[in-house]
Amino acid sequence: MADQNSRRLLRCVIVTPEKTVLDVRAATVSLPLDDGSRGVAVGHTPFIGRLGSGVVRMAGVEGRSAAETTVRTFVEGGFAEVSGDAVTVITRQAVDSATLDPAAARADLDKLKAETATGDEAIASRMAAEAVARARLRAAERRG
Residue 46 has pLDDT above 70, yes or no: yes
Structural domain spans, the chain: 2-97, 100-141
> What is the model's pLDDT at position 48?
96
Q: Of 111 and 5, which is predicted with more confidence?
A: 111
* 81-98: pLDDT as tens digits: 999 899 999 999 999 988
CA-CA distance, 109 to 105, in Å (whole number)? 6
Q: Helices in 2-119 by DSSP H: which ranges?
A: 2-6, 102-114
Among 3, 9, 10, 96, residue whose Cα is nearest residue 55: 96
3-state helix, strand, coil in the chain (%, to 5): 30, 40, 25
**Residues 95-140: pLDDT tens digits?**
998 899 999 999 989 998 888 888 899 888 888 889 989 998 988 8
* pLDDT for 4: 43
Q: Quote the pTM value.
A: 0.82
Question: Using an 8 Å Cβ cutoff, are 143 and 97 in contact?
Answer: yes
pLDDT for residue 14: 97
* Domain covering 2-97: architecture: Sandwich (2.60)
Mean pLDDT of the chain: 88
What pLDDT digit, counting tens, does each position of 48-65 carry? 999 999 999 999 888 776
